[in-house]
Chain A
Amino acid sequence: MKDALPLRAPAINIPSPGDTSFPACTRLSNGVPVYLIGNGPEGLIRIEFVFNAGQRTESVHLASAATNAMLTEGTYLHDAATINNLIDMTGALFSPNADKDSAGLVTVTLTRKLDEVMSLAEEVLFHPSFPEREFRMMKDKRMQAFLIGRQRTAVRAREEFYRALCGDETPYGRVTCAEDYASLSVLHLHDFHSAHYMPRNMYITVAGRNPEQVLPLLERHFSGEGSGPWSKPVITAPLFSSASPGVIHCEVKDSVQSTVRMGWKGITRDHPDYLGLQVATMLLGGYFGSRLMRKIREEKGYTYGIHAVAGAFHSIGYIAIMTDVANAWREETVMEIRKEITHLQRDLVSDDELQVVRNHTMGEIARLFDGPFSVADAIKGIVDYDAGLDYYTRFAETVNNITPGKIKELFNTYFNQEEAYIIIAGTA
């Protein structure tokens, strides 16, 4: 490897991913899993509450996101203004968040305020009152943001891709329309909340110095039996109905750029090729020196950036390449992406290029484990998808052992040009 670098260059040490183990789970008396992630600076601690209450679990569209957004908008003990004031007095940051496969709350607090903050967290998570006035304001605000999203080419292309891949009737593929906001009521929120926000349906991560100190507080506030003892979520796969592959144009009036999103149906985390596919997409468009960045940005100058990812929800995986380009260049961009994929399907990558991807990925893994707050972020993706606490150890092994032959095989198996969805969002 040293041969590739000039004489004066310092020798490079092969990056090691470092310790990639996650802490084992401890449990509250009702069985709620808690992951204690130690170290970090004095005085600050992060506690995250994660519920199996993502978009996948809703029967009324928007119920998951709206319920989550309303958690801090009033409880049976305090109105919206008061609860927010109580939270803000502690200096803590409360960030409710709802995603496709989970929803919950992140709290970051000064350790000295832990007592108050945990009691407030219990209050907003388990006793929200969903007042009508705040509900109407939340809907208006989200409606406004929704209308702004209609004008964003990147947002439109993403929606159309998931619609094509998963089907309109599934929670992953459903595209929101204005009527969805109009028909949503607080009753839907009450229903969604009582079905999903309870101890038996959650887990907790604690990140910071001496995370054990939080356990008695968690026991006090989150060990209630609720509707029964904790149980592992049972995932039932929705009935996916994929569109036929090909070009889908999505009109976004007056846009000066178009978003090009090219994608495929992928694989889920339990598939033996999942980790290898991560390496393949990294090589294609996962870092600054990747094939697509070099070709489309650094050689052609068509775009500010182009990226490729392989990911998965529950029961369905996806591969996507996305970029924003001048309207005039979108056809050339698709052609260049196709060419690059053809190269990777036909020729073996060089050992040098594969080594760059290996080393870069090892650095990425090491950064994921750099500090307790990052580890807390990483463990969420693992627990939500039951990917195994040894996920990154296995990933590092795959990165080390993958061969140019395997990479070529992956491109031939998963990047079939005839099966690609090509979404173009922009002015016709």
Chain B
Amino acid sequence: MIRFERHTLENGLRVIAHRDEGTPMVTTNILYDVGARDEDPGSTGLAHLFEHLMFGGTREVPLFDFPVMMAGGENNAFTNNDFTNYYITLPVNNLETALWLEADRMTGLDLSEERIMTQKSVVTEEYRQRYLNQPYGDLLLLLRPLAYKVHPYRWPAIGIDISHIGKADTISAGKFYRKFYNASNAILSVAGNVAPDEVFRLAEKWFGDKPRAPRRRRRLPVEPDQNKRRQIVAERRVPSAQLIMAWHTDGRNSRDFIVLDMLTDILSGCESARFPNLLVREKEVFSEADIYLSGETDPGLVIFSGKLRNGIDIRKAEEAVEEELFRLSAVPVTDAELEKARNRYESLRLISHLSASNKAFNLALHELLGDAEGINRERERYMSVTAGEMAVTAARTFLPSNCSIIHYIPKEQ
């Protein structure tokens, strides 16, 4: 049970306070409800570029990192398709420094031509480092446009193409900033040894004068049901083939999400799970075989990813996965498998509660999903999943017509 209190400021800023007496540090986590899904298809990658710009300094604080480091803190941020998340962890007696910095860059950012030019270059190198200069690095870049035709999940947070970033300028950045970076579009979550009332008082002190902006309503195109199997082949200079199979499923708040989260754990969550046991050890089709949820807010994907053993035909590998998934309806999940998944869930949940910064982020995430209290209801939701439910959801999800497939194979040298 994670105890917390919530308070919303006049200007719409939602504030969550969790008291953790076991740590000398405090984390301020500020989540902005803007991600790659909110971008214009003609200028993708802007949300992520903007995350970089948020460290570029303001009129009041030209070097963002200077006061953070002075206060003994560390900070970072990440952007995904759904949201952009910033955090600072520092000694608890410097909490106010973190709040001052976050409040300052919510409205005071210095969006100079020069800053934007440099960060465009940094992001281009990030793109090369993560996706182009790694074997298999572009796999997930290929998957999105294959699985999604309409919904903005069809592009990754880095952008459809790196040339989009090249077009960003002070005007587009300024427009983006004013539209998405305001109090009513943010959730501030603070975890550490601080009384909630004190957190609320300080939030009021630093964020209280921020203007109120109307709460945005997101209207995104709905991805139509997929009714035909899709497949592409990508030839790359890699030593061994990789198979990706992805099926559409429901959003983060749905029952299916929880059911499939448990089911994918039973299929590949540990060494003795079905895939490692049958597809890797027994049949020796793959050297690694993993299945997981993409974890997005809107309807997302269940993704199978397997590295093939040398000499195995990729179509045969695909059949082996399908056979295992089909077998789920014939041979339901056993009590032992269910108990294993429950014990693992319990361990992982306690591990995720070890750090205050992790709790701060998860509280903000649940609030974004609708209610921070969800963090305390999740355990019950996972524990109540039954074998029967898993069979039904599996039969509904793992349909060939609902599947997008990538054969990622070595290029003949």
Chains A and B come from one and the same complex: yes
Report which A residues bind B (CB closer than 8 A).
1, 4-6, 8-10, 12-13, 15-16, 18, 39-41, 43-44, 72, 80-81, 84-85, 87-93, 108-110, 113, 134, 137, 140-141, 144, 147-148, 150-153, 253-257, 287-289, 297-304, 324-326, 355-357, 359-360, 362-364, 366-367, 370-371, 373
Q: Whole-angstrom distance between the alpha carbons of A9 and B70 in the complex?
A: 12
Shortest beta-carbon distance from B297 to chain A in Å: 27
Q: Which of B70, B121, B239 contacts A1 (CB 8 A)?
A: B70
CB pair A84–B22 under 8 Å, yes or no, is: no
Partner of A256 from the list B66, B133, B346 (CB cut-off 8 Å) is B133
Verify if B72 is at the interface (C-beta below 8 Å from A): yes
Q: Is the interface of A mostly helix, strand, loop or mixed?
A: mixed
Q: B95: nearest residue on chain A (CB-CB)?
A: A10
Distance between B48 CB and nearest chain A CB, rounded to angstroms:
12
Which of B60, B119, B237, B340 is in CB contact (< 8 Å) with A89?
Answer: B340
- Residues of A contacting B350 in the complex (Cβ-Cβ under 8 angstroms): 41, 43-44, 110
Centre residue among B97, B117, B288 by max chain A CB count within 10 A: B97
> Given A110-B343, A144-B239, A324-B133, is A289 in contact with B125 using a C-beta cutoff of 8 Å?
no
Q: What is B's interface to A at a CB cutoff of 8 Å?
A: 22-25, 55, 60-61, 63, 65-67, 69-75, 89-91, 93-94, 96-97, 100, 117-123, 125-126, 128-130, 132-136, 237-240, 270-273, 277, 280-281, 284, 287-288, 307, 309-310, 336, 339-340, 342-347, 350-351, 353-355
- Pairwise interchain contact A13-B271, C-beta atoms closer than 8 A: no
**A81-B281, A144-B287 given; A257·B129 CB < 8 A:** yes
Measured between beta carbons, the chain A residues less than 8 angstroms from B273 are 88
Cα of A150 to Cα of B61 in the assembled complex, Å: 44
Residue of B nearest to A147 (CB): B239
Q: Which residues of B contact A288 (CB under 8 A)?
A: 55, 65, 69, 75
With a cutoff of 8 Å between Cβ atoms, the chain A residues found around residue B309 in the complex are: 140
Contact with B65, one of A93, A144, A289 (Cβ below 8 angstroms): A289
Q: With CB as the reference atom, state the residue of chain B lying closest to A304.
A: B126
Which residue of chain B is the closest to A257 with respect to CB atoms?
B133
Contact B133 A298 (CB under 8 A): no
CA distance A256 to B346 in the complex (A): 43
Residues of A contacting B66 in the complex (Cβ-Cβ under 8 angstroms): 4, 289, 356
Q: Evaluate contact between A299 and B125: CB separation under 8 angstroms.
A: no
The chain B residue sitting closest to A134, CB to CB, is B281
- Closest-by-CB residue of B relative to A253 is B237
Q: 26 A-B pairs, CB-CB below 8 angstroms?
A: A8-B100, A9-B100, A10-B97, A13-B91, A39-B22, A40-B354, A41-B22, A44-B347, A44-B351, A80-B281, A92-B347, A140-B309, A144-B310, A151-B237, A256-B132, A256-B133, A257-B125, A289-B65, A300-B121, A301-B117, A301-B122, A357-B69, A359-B72, A366-B24, A366-B72, A370-B24
Q: Which residues of B contact A255 (CB under 8 A)?
A: 133
B270 touches A289 (CB 8 A): no
- Among B90, B100, B121, point to the contact of A363 (Cβ < 8 A): B90
A356 and B70 contact, Cβ closer than 8 Å, known pairs A88-B340, A91-B347, A141-B287: yes
